[in-house]
């Protein structure tokens, strides 16, 4: 047997390899232990979040004043069109209410807003040879000029798209009332997409028709349901063209008028409106907040618009969004929570016919250098919550959507499953250039346009439980943003 005696160099190399192996084993063990500790910490944090979200929903469904607040706003204050006495009463109501709901500071932000008044006369008659005149349910569109006393009587010509005007030409349109009769597309499951597909005839139909010599326009109401309720909404004129009267006509009446035109293309309609535009009026955004305990300079905004159209009580649009946003502050107080970031409730004035409140809010925020980490808007009615849409500048919106999808597991037990790109909301959109992550509250949309801008948008159209579920959904999302942040990944949460 031959004895092998390694030399010193060989022994040193052997010892080094053994040492490196030991270090690797120790590091692997440490990494495994660290990973296990991190996983345990994440699981503990998720459990804590789950418990807190459950509590927020329990409070909203058993102790919230959200529904009674909506009753006060709708039935105590009523319609709140910008510039009206109702709008100013709503400002005073919201100012006092926020002071009782957990806000540690409340203030009014002045803003000049349009002042349009509907007037007392809205009348339309269909004249057919040998038959009694038929009343057509109509209402002036917001911003429209009125008619001469006694109204305008003229033949009617039907179109379905703005481009139809050019095909017909001035010779066939001049001196007539244009009926825009394009319906909302029924096959679109997202009713807001259907609304977007035909609202151009309301917003710019009068200006387009005036360019061809029309004397007035009737616009089919933005409504999927066939009924006798005309739906108002904002419209505008174009400099250099005549400002002609513009009215919405109910879906049933639009269909009946279309049938009558097929029988007699030369029939006439009378339209009489007494609406009028006045100089801009002073109003206010109403703002209340809970100041953050760790990062008060960072703001999470939640809001809706305090103004409404004047036909109903503005219950779904947007009384629901206002009281849900106010309920977030109430939820923090009831749960005994103090946010790390500042949670600010903003009730915007003048979303419906000018967005002046939102524009002014964004301007002041920019001048002050305020840092809005996220903004959430509720302006799609008080129906059952389905989820949230996400918008923002490139990079921000992608990260915000990823975070929202991370949180769906916590929100799914409450029926919240939707998370995708989409509009955050008209008012908060003005914060987009300030690198704010924008979230739009998305409730079920199938019934919204039955009420939108119509006389039946009243308090009794809102379901108490659905309204409260929406308030809890907003509170839960704000809680998660406050605790985990928007820009960090779950493993890099700066709050834990």
Give the span between the Cα atoms of 216 and 111, in whole angstroms.
Answer: 32
Mean pLDDT (whole number) for 31-54:
76
Across the range 208-226, mean pLDDT stands at 98
| Catalytic positions | 351
Give 57-88 pLDDT, tens digit per residue: 999 999 999 999 999 999 999 999 999 999 99
Instruction: Please tell me the CATH code under which domain 121-274 is placed.
Output: 3.50.30.30
Mean pLDDT value of segment 315-320: 98
Q: What is the pLDDT of residue 2?
A: 39
pLDDT higher than 60, residue 4: no
**pLDDT tier for residue 161 given thresholds of 50, 70 and 90:** very high
| Rounded mean pLDDT, 402-411 | 97
Tell me what pLDDT residue 487 has. Answer: 77
pLDDT over threshold 70, residue 27: no
In this structure, the number of other CB atoms found within 10 A of the CB of residue 41 comes to 13
* pLDDT tens string 410-460: 999 999 999 999 999 999 999 999 999 999 999 999 999 999 999 999 999
Separation CA 90–CA 72 (nearest Å):
10
Q: How far apart are CA 15 and CA 20, in angstroms?
A: 9
Task: Tell me the mean pLDDT in the region 321-331.
Answer: 98
pLDDT at 43: 72
Where do you find CATH 3.50.30.30 in the chain? 121-274
As annotated, the residues of the chain forming the CATH 3.40.630.10 domain(s) are: 48-116+279-492
Burial label, 109 (beta-carbon count in 10 A; 0-12, 13-18, 19+)? middle
Mean pLDDT, rounded, for 369-388:
98
The predicted pLDDT at position 167 comes to: 97
pLDDT value at 45 more than 90? no
| pLDDT for the residue 44 | 77
Pick from 113, 115, 114, 110: nearest CA to 361: 110
In angstroms, rounded to a whole number, what is the distance separating the alpha carbons of residues 178 and 430?
Answer: 34
25 vs 271, which has greater pLDDT?
Answer: 271
pLDDT, average across residues 169-176: 98
Reading the block at residue 251, the tokens are 């879906």
Q: Is residue 29 scored above 80 in pLDDT?
A: no
Q: Does the pLDDT of residue 492 top 50, yes or no?
A: no
Q: Does residue 11 carry a pLDDT above 60?
A: no
How many whole angstroms separate alpha carbon 224 and alpha carbon 201?
15
pLDDT of 49: 95
Average pLDDT over residues 22-38: 57
Burial of 486 (0-12, 13-18, 19+ CB in 10 A): buried
**For position 30, what pLDDT does the model report?**
54
CATH code reported for the domain at 48-116+279-492: 3.40.630.10
Report the greatest alpha carbon distance in the chain. Answer: 131
What's the rounded Cα separation, in Å, for the pair 293 and 105? 14
Give 316 or 18, the one with higher predicted confidence: 316
User: How confident is residue 47, by pLDDT bands cut at 50, 70 and 90?
Assistant: confident
- Virtual torsion, Cα 219, 225, 226, 229, nearest 10 deg: -60
For 101-135, the pLDDT digits (tens) are 989 999 999 999 999 999 999 999 999 998 999 99
> Residue 140 to residues 21, 84, 118, 230, 257: CA-CA distances in angstroms?
83, 17, 7, 9, 18
CB 210 within 8 A of CB 165: no
Q: How far apart are CA 187 and CA 189, in angstroms?
A: 6
- With a cut of 90, say whether residue 9 has pLDDT above it: no
| Full DSSP string of 295-364 | EEEEEEEEEEE----SSS--IIIIIHHHHHHHHHHHHHHHHT---SEEEEEEEES-TTTT-HHHHHHHHH
Section 465-493 average pLDDT: 86
Q: What is the pLDDT of residue 386?
A: 98
Token pair, residue 244, equals 């002609």
| Upstream peptide bond of 443 is cis (omega within 30 degrees of 0) | no
User: For position 21, what pLDDT does the model report?
Assistant: 52
Rounded CA separation 75/54 (Å): 32
Strand partners, 371: 298
- Extended beta strands in 379-486, E state: 385-391, 418-421, 437-443
- With bands split at pLDDT 50, 70 and 90, how would you rate the model's confidence at 46? confident
Q: Which two tokens stand for residue 331?
A: 């939820």
Strand runs (DSSP E) across 39-79, as ranges? Answer: none
């Amino acid at each position: 047997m031959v004895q092998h005696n390694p030399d010193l160099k060989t022994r040193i190399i052997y010892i080094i390899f053994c040492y490196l192996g030991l270090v690797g084993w120790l590091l692997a063990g440490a990494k495994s232990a660290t990973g296990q500790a991190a996983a345990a910490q994440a699981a503990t944090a998720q459990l804590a979040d789950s418990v807190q979200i459950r509590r927020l929903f329990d409070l909203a469904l058993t102790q919230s004043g959200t529904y009674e607040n909506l009753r006060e706003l709708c039935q105590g204050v009523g319609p709140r069109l910008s510039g009206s006495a109702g709008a100013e009463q709503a400002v005073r109501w919201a100012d006092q209410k926020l002071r009782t709901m957990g806000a540690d500071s409340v203030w009014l932000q002045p803003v000049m807003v349009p002042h349009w008044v509907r007037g007392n006369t809205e009348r339309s008659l269909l004249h057919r040879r040998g038959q009694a005149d038929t009343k057509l349910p109509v209402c002036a569109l917001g911003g429209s000029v009125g008619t001469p006393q006694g109204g305008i009587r003229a033949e009617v010509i039907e179109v379905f798209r703005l481009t139809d005007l050019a095909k017909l030409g001035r010779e066939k349109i001049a001196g007539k009332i244009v009926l825009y009769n394009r319906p909302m597309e029924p096959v679109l499951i997202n009713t807001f997409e259907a609304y977007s597909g035909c609202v151009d005839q309301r917003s710019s139909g009068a200006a387009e028709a005036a360019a061809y010599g029309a004397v007035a326009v009737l616009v089919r109401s933005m409504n999927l349901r066939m009924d006798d309720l005309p739906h108002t909404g904002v419209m505008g004129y174009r400099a250099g063209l005549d400002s002609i009267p513009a009215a919405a006509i109910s879906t049933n009446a639009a269909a009946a008028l279309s049938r009558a035109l097929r029988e007699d293309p030369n029939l006439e309609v009378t339209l009489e409106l007494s609406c009028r535009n006045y100089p801009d009026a002073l109003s206010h955004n109403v703002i209340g907040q809970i100041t953050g305990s760790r990062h008060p300079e960072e703001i999470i905004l939640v809001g809706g618009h305090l103004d409404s159209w004047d036909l109903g009580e503005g219950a779904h649009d947007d009384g629901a969004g206002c009281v849900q946003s106010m309920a977030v502050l109430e939820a923090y107080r009831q749960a005994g929570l103090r946010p790390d970031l500042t949670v600010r409730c903003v009730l915007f004035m003048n979303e419906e016919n000018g967005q002046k409140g939102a524009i002014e809010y964004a301007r002041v925020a920019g001048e002050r250098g305020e840092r809005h980490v996220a903004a959430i808007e509720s302006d799609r009615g008080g129906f059952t919550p389905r989820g949230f849409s996400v918008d923002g500048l490139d990079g921000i919106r992608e990260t915000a959507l990823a975070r929202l999808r991370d949180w769906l597991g916590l929100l799914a037990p409450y029926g919240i499953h939707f998370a995708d790109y989409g509009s955050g909301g008209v008012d908060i959109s003005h914060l987009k250039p300030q690198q704010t992550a924008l979230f739009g509250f998305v409730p079920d949309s199938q019934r919204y346009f039955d009420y939108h801008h119509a006389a039946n948008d009243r308090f009794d159209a809102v379901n108490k439980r659905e309204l409260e579920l929406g308030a809890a959904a907003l509170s839960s999302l704000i809680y998660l943003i406050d605790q985990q942040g928007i820009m960090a990944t779950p493993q890099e949460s700066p709050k834990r």
